[in-house]
Structure 1
């Protein structure tokens, strides 16, 4: 009797939901609810309960708890025709939803929905929770719903026919497709960037974007629909599981993007703490209490939103410009996350738009993060270019300093040379005066004595120059070997110390200075020998730097000296023209011929495939100049070698077989004679050195 009285009160107290033919979707805006803390009430008991509370609003959040929530409302059909209507619950995250259709005290039908139900067994293939509302032959019926879930129990539902349900589902599927397309494009694009630049931040962004898709798809039930329709274990855990993995990925991405280790190293412990919380939530969700894990997950998302926001402003204040776009993107995400958390905890009323806040914020976030990555790349490239510019500026300053020092040294050498030449001129003048003043007998005795006294020490100097040059060359070869081996075997610290010492003592310039000093000693010795010879012949000392020389004699004497090196294997063609005597430094010109012809001999003898090695030397007159050509039919030189043959220390020979200074010296000698040196060569067709010299160095001599 009490049960019947309760039903009468329920019928009188609650207005039914009217279902009209061809009516649009009808929201369930008035219902009653009952909390079942022990999950112990049966449907038969619930029908007779009189402690339901009325709730007159479309959407209500029953919180995060272990209780079951019973809902009931009455539906009334305004047509006696069979109408196939459906009750659709908008919250796809409910674990269980039990549907009972009753008429009075009699339960007419029972259906079950939620994440625990196999997707293939649903009445309508949709990610929503849908029940068939069969009112055939009835005008009124009572609907009882029992909902149970480990996350927030937000109830929002509507009644509609199949066409209207499909329309709403198709609209949502289109939005989900747009969401998926945007994320897929960003994933592919940033994956290519990672492959191209090997920057860890791009792969972290890609992983985060993938997890964003899984997390939001789980909230809307698309992972159950598309990936694991029958996997109940995953379906009830996917929201927290993928949400926590997303939290881990975004934390690691923020750490890498914001360069926390560099700009905020003390805050790294906070990053580690947040990652630890999310890892705990994942493990708790898998092995222990899903409900407690969900509460901790919401708390961790809130902490993450505020903490990373704080870090972004911290590193931006320290001058890290890429943090600008990151803060904008994170602001969008943080606002969406905080609103979502507030709704889940019941702090903010739930609305039909609320369900889209977090996915929309996540979509804007990944798009803005993509802009932030592009801005970061641009800023880093600008900083790198500025750094390279500063390095080049310092190098140019060092180069200018070296040039100034070289010019100063050259000026000092020039001054010293002028002093030596002046001293030599005084000695020659003194000798001439002595010859003119003394008689032949006394002059002969005097010159013989001078020749004897000078000859012995100068012979000692002359004989020691070649061994000295050879010994120094050996030492330089050892030093060069140490340098090469050091680059391969010494530690980076040792290499830096060696490089620093070389720069301090100007090692490369010392090498050039040694060669110049040896040549100066050799030239001085030869000049002194010439003076001794002049004394012996009782000639007037009239030695000058520049004298008229028969170029053919110099070429012939050079060929005689190199005859043994040819070993009779090279044919020599001399095509001498009718040329006059040329003003030049004879010894220097002989050195030119010696170096070029020696290189030609080596090129011919080092390649056994040449059938008839031939060396051709031509001379001809070109107005006020002469032309000398030294040509061989050797292997020639490729273009990259040709461009560098006159560089000091450049050589194609093995270590110990050449210094790379020969052709550099030749080029300098010709240049000092106001002449030109050109090489005509190509790989496989020989080499031809073409020298042009002016006949007169200053003013023409009259014979």
Structure 2
């Protein structure tokens, strides 16, 4: 009995110490040690809580910080109404709780749900349309009630609780909302202003700063529940992870901003690997959160953020040691933010009181930080502007000095140019004279080539005509003799015919004897032979003259349709004297249409190539047999014909094959060629829009294929 009385003495004071009393003159009550807390290592029901009511521990803080917990945390408090009003509400000012439920103990000792909210449900489901969790406390005057509060969160659990009349609570919330609205205004102003500066100066530091401010603002607005209330009230799943993702995104933007703004590559290069490691920590926090490990992601984010703050302050100090002046604002900004974060944490752990200043200390510090970073950017731009002005001044000085040097150099250069111009004038006159001489020499060489071809042509024609003419002239004397004998025979017959002293038989006998004496039969045969020889010689001479006319083509300066086979054949007739008995000539003329061309110029091409082929055969075989010259014509395609000239002469060495069409290049001995024949041939075929294909093997022979369009596109 005594121990029960002693236990009652212990319990009653605790119960009385944990009671909250409201009166008519009460505005907003923030419980301090009136809260009792129960932490469990598993989820328990409301019935189990009643059984564990003696395990609740008295809170020492008016703003309990319960840390991280995988399971629900229970709070209990007693409320006594000593006022004349029954209208009171409970405000839990921590909107990022995942789940919160208020229970009231009825007269039978059972727990009755007074309200159940959280980010698991859409915002419209809340009775009071506010980011905080607000519950009605329906308690009559002079009545006492006991309440239980169950909370659960994947993030840190902090419970800033306030109890009061609706008017007082709403006045308190309005002040907080006004401050949050002002914070939002600062975020928008800083974002838009620096975004416009970025679009103007194109400095990436401004872009990183804008991203940092936007994500930081979204993070802070998410913590106070504004995002869920106004931006995505129907997306509770996104609300559950958005704060962590925004916090990591703002930190990543800060890393890029710091690297670019502080020029870490030049000023503090050894710190960049640390920033890279922090980047991957924040990235892993985002991935963990997205894949459902929200509490782990929050812990990684929280740890990385703490490290980042210290690292950036140290980094700015190193940059200051390198006399990088914009780092002063950077150091001041992060130092102030660190102070604001410390005040916020000390408030959460009950060291500092929970009020409007301490609950918004981090936001106040972030406003100052944003302003200082903006000043830092402006200072950086001013420094860059001054550096640019100094650079421009130096460039102007250098430019003026260069201008002076240029003026002096111009005078010297003008003198040198004048001297050089005089030298060039003299040189140009000399070159002009040399060019005139060169053109004259070229004309002479071309004329020499023409004369060489003409000489070759004349020699061939003379040789060809000489044979039949000689044949005719050699037959004239025998023919005159035979004709004289015929005239003598006619006179003898006439004499005998008019001799009246002879009988007819004697006349016939004497005529037969005379005919036998002069061998009249042989005489007739000889006359026929001589006439036939003279006819053949005359015909041969006419054919040669015809070939010469075809070859020469007096109309060669005009495009006309010509028979290529006829042109090749006339060239062969002219060159017949060069072809020795040991050379076999094979001609295969295809059925080809007439070709629009300069016929005389093409005949000159055939002459040059055939002459070279005969020369190569003679050089290889000499007077022995075995030489072969083959000529073939035909259709190359629907629009062109070909002329192929093949020989089995000496061939063209590979080393000089690319030079055979160069002017003045020749392999013949001095006096045997000018080196212009193949050059003229190449230019003539090119003028006809054709081409010359060469195949040759040294010691085996050469094949020239001329491809000539049937119609010229002129």
TM-score range, shorter chain: 0.5 to 0.7
Q: 1:93 aligns with which of 91, 96, 107?
A: 96
Give the aligned partner of residue 13 of structure 1.
14
- 5 Å-filtered alignment, 1:295-306, equals 295-306=299-310
Aligned counterparts of 2:252 and 2:334: Cα–Cα separation in 1: 15
Aligned counterparts of 2:370 and 2:221: Cα–Cα separation in 1: 15
Taking structure 1 as the reference length, the TM-score comes to 0.55
What secondary structure does 1:263 align onto? coil
What secondary structure does 2:90 align onto? strand
- 5 Å-filtered alignment, 1:251-290, equals 251-290=255-294
Change (3 A) 1:175 1:285: same
User: Aligned pair 1:35/2:52, yes or no?
Assistant: no
Aligned counterparts of 1:63 and 1:6: Cα–Cα separation in 2: 32
Q: Deviations over 1:533-589 (max 9, x none)?
A: xxxxxxxxxxxxxxxxxxxxxxxxxxxxxxxxxxxxxxxxxxxxxxxxxxxxxxxxx
Give the aligned partner of residue 207 of structure 2.
203
Q: Which runs of 5+ in 1 are unaligned?
A: 417-459, 472-703
The answer (yes or no) to whether the contact 1:74–1:140 under 8 Å persists in 2 is yes
The answer (yes or no) to whether the contact 1:302–1:338 under 8 Å persists in 2 is no
Aligned counterparts of 2:403 and 2:431: Cα–Cα separation in 1: 34
Give the aligned partner of residue 367 of structure 2.
363
The answer (yes or no) to whether the contact 1:126–1:169 under 8 Å persists in 2 is no
Change (3 A) 1:160 1:340: closer
Q: Deviations over 1:575-606 (max 9, x none)?
A: xxxxxxxxxxxxxxxxxxxxxxxxxxxxxxxx
Change (3 A) 1:348 1:272: farther
What secondary structure does 2:55 align onto? coil
| Number of aligned residues | 425
The answer (yes or no) to whether the contact 1:29–1:57 under 8 Å persists in 2 is yes
- 5 Å-filtered alignment, 1:130-529, equals 130-136=134-140, 139-340=143-344, 346=349, 351-352=354-355, 353-404=357-408, 464=429
Shift of 1:131: 0.9
User: Aligned pair 1:47/2:50, yes or no?
Assistant: yes
Aligned counterparts of 2:336 and 2:278: Cα–Cα separation in 1: 20
Change (3 A) 1:28 1:364: same
Shift of 1:215: 0.5
Aligned counterparts of 1:463 and 1:257: Cα–Cα separation in 2: 63
Give the aligned partner of residue 25 of structure 1.
28
Shift of 1:403: 3.8
Shift of 1:245: 0.9
The answer (yes or no) to whether the contact 1:305–1:337 under 8 Å persists in 2 is no
Change (3 A) 1:85 1:343: closer
Shift of 1:59: 1.9
Shift of 1:399: 3.0
Aligned counterparts of 1:408 and 1:218: Cα–Cα separation in 2: 76
Shift of 1:90: 2.1
Shift of 1:290: 1.6
Report the aligned-residue RMSD.
Answer: 3.5
Q: 1:69 aligns with which of 69, 73, 76?
A: 73
The answer (yes or no) to whether the contact 1:97–1:113 under 8 Å persists in 2 is yes
Aligned counterparts of 2:235 and 2:7: Cα–Cα separation in 1: 41
The answer (yes or no) to whether the contact 2:104–2:147 under 8 Å persists in 1 is yes
Change (3 A) 1:65 1:461: closer
Shift of 1:379: 0.7
Change (3 A) 1:6 1:27: farther
Change (3 A) 1:462 1:349: closer
Aligned counterparts of 2:127 and 2:12: Cα–Cα separation in 1: 29
The answer (yes or no) to whether the contact 2:222–2:242 under 8 Å persists in 1 is yes
Taking structure 2 as the reference length, the TM-score comes to 0.54
Q: Deviations over 1:44-97 (max 9, x none)?
A: 232233122223542221222224322111111114x55211011122232222
Q: 1:107 aligns with which of 105, 108, 111?
A: 111
The answer (yes or no) to whether the contact 2:64–2:350 under 8 Å persists in 1 is no
Aligned counterparts of 1:341 and 1:109: Cα–Cα separation in 2: 32
Shift of 1:339: 4.8
**Rg: which structure is higher?**
2
The answer (yes or no) to whether the contact 2:92–2:160 under 8 Å persists in 1 is yes
Shift of 1:340: 4.5
Change (3 A) 1:407 1:58: same
Q: Deviations over 1:448-499 (max 9, x none)?
A: xxxxxxxxxxxx979938969x99xxxxxxxxxxxxxxxxxxxxxxxxxxxx
What secondary structure does 2:383 align onto? helix
Aligned counterparts of 2:279 and 2:428: Cα–Cα separation in 1: 81
The answer (yes or no) to whether the contact 1:30–1:73 under 8 Å persists in 2 is no
Q: Which runs of 5+ in 2 are unaligned?
A: 420-424, 437-714
Change (3 A) 1:137 1:399: closer
What secondary structure does 1:319 align onto? coil
Q: Deviations over 1:187-216 (max 9, x none)?
A: 111121122222212221111111111000
Shift of 1:179: 1.0
The answer (yes or no) to whether the contact 1:92–1:127 under 8 Å persists in 2 is yes
